[in-house]
Structure 1
Amino acid sequence: MSENTLKWSYLFTLSLIWGSSFILMKKALIGVTPFQLGALRTIFTALILFTVGFKYVKTIDKTAWKWVALSGVFGSLIPAFLFAIAETEIDSAIASILNSLVPLQTILVGFAVFQISSTKRQVLGVALGFIGTALLVMEGADLNPHQNYLYAGYIVLATVMYAFNVNIIKSHLQHLKPLTIATGNYVVIIIPALIVLLLSGFFESSRLQNPELKMALVYVFILSFFGTALAKVLFNKLIKISTPVFASSVTYVMPIVALTWGFLDGEGFSVLQGLASLVILLGVYLANKKA
């Protein structure tokens, strides 16, 4: 398989996996709190990755560990909590559309921090993306007055962190294997995740007797295995054989998958929200389009 075909295969596989992650988080939150979800997702993923990748951790040189740690914190640990918190107030489909800001944030972070130049077309794309985001959030707040759409800010913050992660991997970790990076990430972040889980009250008898806990743990495990462990390795491979902006373009297709799941689960979606979503995707397209 050619490298070009391979990178597109990774892109659509990741879109399917990550597009399904939002509904899994929504279902898991029925039986666990947002902080428990973020912590359990991190711990389960770490244990999965350690079984296949721990032997490669020793190949990480001392100078790379700070970048591996930053990649883990920005690319996995904090976003796991931010998305869980956000989905307590906003629909899973809306969360996925807001997540499509990642390519735009990648350009902004690349320009501001990593000195990667931007074109006028990319600037226009960024502007359109944020206009679409504002429309989407305002319409969502009108349609769902019982939901606090300020929680969309958690997802916007997570997209900034994802953008840092993409640029960190491309700029400083290209010499490491994707599985090595992913495993190294979780060597660093499993300890804080365990601390959060212990402080969250997860092991209290009343929590453990919750009849919805067992199903929530099943959803978290599926989310951890496919949506984090497997997807993390595939995404690192995608970054390695493509560009940061192409890799972050996985968010093109994710909203389609997530919207389908949301519709099947009874989530509402207005015409104006659809138009706002198209504005966001148009902005992402313009920002990624080659001259």
Structure 2
Amino acid sequence: MSYDTQTPQSPQAPQVAVRNGLGTAALVLGIIGTVSGLVPPLFWLAGILGLIALILGLVGRGRVKRHEANNKGVTTTGAILGLAALILSVIGAVITITAVSEAVDEINKAVEDSAPKDPSSTAKGDAGKKDIAKGLAAGDMAAYDDLKVTVSEAKPYKPSQFAPGHTKGNKAYQVTVVIENSGKEKFDATLATLNARAGKDGVTAEQIFDDRVGTGFTGTILPGKKSTVVFAFDAPKDAKNLSIEVSPGLDHEASQWELKIG
């Protein structure tokens, strides 16, 4: 009589599906985020991808500990790269913000430099305390950043018989204008222009040209040097004042002197 002997078998442990997707995603996003972080303007992309990679990497490591995944190295590397991308994003943000700030400062400086420069009045005695908006007096100085302009008092002038700009019956007056270059670069004096008005109605006072006056400013003025020119203007016989407006150039605002005549 025979008996079948069977060895009892222990039940097999249930199979757990391997879930390596989070670790792989963390690695891919970490690599892209780190590369983006090396380009400062892409700091925002590095920050986003780095944060996601770090989170996925940490969650993936949790799966590895629970034996739900077996890509511990990939998951750890993804988390580390995610952290690196976050650090690079902060550095990139600092670099980008600093660069933008410096660029804005340079633009503002360029705009300020290109804007017309306001003259501040300095003069002899108490005349320098005058409000420049009301006009300067004879001998007062209009001081710019790089120039100083002075207009003398008006003196009677006798033009030649056929001098252009003079009308018979009117009176002529001469003024001496001095431009001093107080800057560090040479100044193109040919850019300086003068205009004049006379009387209470402010009629145009024509500039007189003859063999003694009318040439205007010419050439350049070196730093520390001056240029002096005499101008003559035609005014109505009853005019009591002569307004002289001097514009040193395109980069400077015009200044005005109110001179007594008659």
Please give the TM-score of this superposition, normalised by the length of structure 2. Answer: 0.22
Q: Compare the two structures and name the one with the higher helix fraction.
A: 1
Q: Compare the two structures and name the one with the higher strand fraction.
A: 2
Report 1 or 2 for greater relative contact order, CA contacts < 8 Å, sequence distance ≥ 6: 1
Q: Which has the larger radius of gyration?
A: 2
Please give the TM-score of this superposition, normalised by the length of structure 1. Answer: 0.21
